[in-house]
């Protein structure tokens, strides 16, 4: 009997095709399940989480704005510290408790950043809409990729913070703004001659405001702070001084505080107890430490000229230039400073000014530095 090779090949081919179709169908089914689950994950997890986070974020922002100020709310929003986890207001309030609020610093920082809550919100909405369009597009095309896989297993893009959202906003290039300032001329020493007024054009730029938390919300402290060891030393020194100068000693065992001692003024045995020395030494310590601190303040706040000119954050170019010129003139006209010392001070000032101007992309020589 002759072998029908044609029929055999046809049978093999038919079986292979059937197996191929079954494999394709199985893959299509898996693919369809993945895409379906990705879509379900988006609508059941990603989108509700986004909505809840935005609701919490808006509530915290509004409360901060109402209780502190809109600028304070913007400050924390700009820095991505309003996360929408539901605890934002309590966490931030705890952070700034017992601190001052530098409104000018915060206002200038917010102005420098140039965005707003609504802009950042719109950027976040755009991001979630793009995720939704991606999922819906894959459902319609029956396709999936790496993003769909991430959505499937719940590893979707993190909900954008204010800072990440702000970074996605497009900005239009604008011509640099300038301001024209006229500086009044000065009298030439020893003559009736006055120099001409000077009119200059300055870029409307300012040194960068970093948004430093401690600058925005400074701790309310005394101007002079002493460390624990320094306080302990003052106590020890005051006690020694008290024993040497106030206590009258009679022999090796008898000590007495004179009745007319100013450090017994106000002493009442019924109120303060029978130990006159304990009361007197407390009064002496207060006086002693106050005298030391006052003397220290006088030394620090004397007519010394600082060797470091810190230019505050957010200082405009015009203020840097004009105020530095005035400071240089003040140093040059100070008769109590030697010429060598003047040169050191002025060179240091110019160095600080040059650094600030260069950081803003401005050539210092343009303004004489």
pLDDT the model gives residue 171: 44
For the segment 219-266, what is each residue's pLDDT rounded down to a tens digit?
654 444 555 566 667 778 888 888 888 888 877 777 888 888 888 888
pLDDT the model gives residue 281: 87
Query: Of 69, 169, 156, which Cα lies nearest the Cα of 118?
Result: 169
- pLDDT of residue 157 exceeding 60, the answer is no
In a 13 Å sphere around the CA of 88, the CA atoms on its Cβ side amount to 25
- CB count within 10 Å of CB 245 equals 9
- CB count within 10 Å of CB 51 equals 11
Mean pLDDT of the chain: 75
- pLDDT of residue 292 exceeding 80, the answer is no
pLDDT the model gives residue 168: 46
Contact 245, 257 (CB under 8 A): no
Instruction: Compute the Cα dihedral for 261, 263, 269, 274 and give only its sign.
Output: negative
Helix (H, G, I), strand (E, B) or coil at 179: strand
Q: How far apart are CA 357 and CA 359, in angstroms?
A: 5
3-state percent breakdown (helix, strand, coil) of the chain, nearest 5:
60, 5, 35
């Amino acid at each position: 009997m002759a072998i029908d090779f044609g029929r055999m090949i046809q049978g093999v081919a038919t079986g292979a095709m059937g197996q191929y179709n079954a494999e394709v169908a199985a893959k299509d089914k898996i693919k369809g399940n993945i895409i379906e689950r990705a879509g379900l994950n988006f609508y059941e997890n990603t989108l509700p989480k986004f909505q809840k986070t935005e609701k919490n974020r808006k509530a915290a922002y509004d409360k901060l704005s109402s209780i502190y100020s809109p600028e304070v709310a913007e400050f924390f929003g700009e820095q991505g510290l309003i996360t929408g986890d539901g605890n934002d207001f309590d966490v931030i309030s705890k952070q700034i408790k017992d601190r001052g609020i530098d409104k000018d610093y915060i206002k200038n920082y917010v102005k420098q950043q140039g965005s707003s809550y609504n802009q950042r919100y719109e950027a976040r909405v755009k991001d979630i809409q793009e995720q939704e369009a991606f999922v819906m597009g894959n459902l319609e095309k029956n396709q999936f990729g790496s993003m769909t896989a991430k959505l499937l297993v719940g590893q979707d893009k993190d909900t954008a913070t204010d800072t990440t959202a702000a970074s996605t906003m497009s900005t239009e290039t604008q011509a640099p703004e300038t301001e024209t300032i006229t500086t009044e001329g000065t009298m030439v020493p020893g003559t009736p001659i006055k120099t001409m007024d000077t009119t200059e054009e300055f870029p409307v730029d300012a040194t960068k405001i970093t948004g430093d938390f401690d600058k925005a919300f400074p701790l309310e402290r005394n101007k002079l702070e002493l460390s624990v060891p320094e306080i302990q030393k003052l106590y020890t020194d005051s006690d020694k001084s008290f024993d040497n100068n106030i206590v009258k000693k009679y022999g090796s065992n008898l000590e007495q505080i004179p009745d007319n001692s100013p450090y017994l003024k106000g002493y009442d045995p019924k109120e303060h107890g029978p130990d006159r020395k304990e009361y007197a030494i407390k009064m002496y310590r207060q006086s002693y430490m106050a005298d030391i601190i006052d003397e220290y303040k006088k030394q620090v706040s004397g007519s010394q000229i600082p060797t470091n000119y810190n230019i505050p954050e957010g200082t405009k170019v015009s203020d840097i230039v004009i105020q530095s010129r005035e400071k240089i003139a003040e140093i040059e006209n100070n008769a109590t400073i030697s010429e060598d010392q003047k040169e050191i001070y002025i060179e240091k000032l110019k160095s600080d000014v040059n650094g600030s101007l260069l950081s803003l992309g401005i050539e210092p020589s343009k303004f004489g530095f």
